[in-house]
Amino acid sequence: MSMTISVRYEPKQDLDFITGVLGLTRSETLRSLIDEGRKMKALQLYRHGKVSLGLGAKVAKLTLSEFLDLLKEHNVKLNIDVEDAKSALAYSREDL
SS3 of the chain: the string is CCCCCCCCCCHHHHHHHHHHHHCCCHHHHHHHHHHHHHHHHHHHHHHCCCCCHHHHHHHHCCCHHHHHHHHHHCCCCCCCCHHHHHHHHHHHHCCC
Residue pLDDT, tens place only, 63-81: 989 999 999 999 999 887 7
Say how many CA atoms lie within 13 Å of 56 toward its Cβ. 30
> How many Cα atoms occupy the beta-carbon half-sphere of 15 within 13 Å?
13
* pLDDT, tens only, 6-56: 667 788 888 899 999 999 999 999 999 999 999 999 999 999 999 988 899
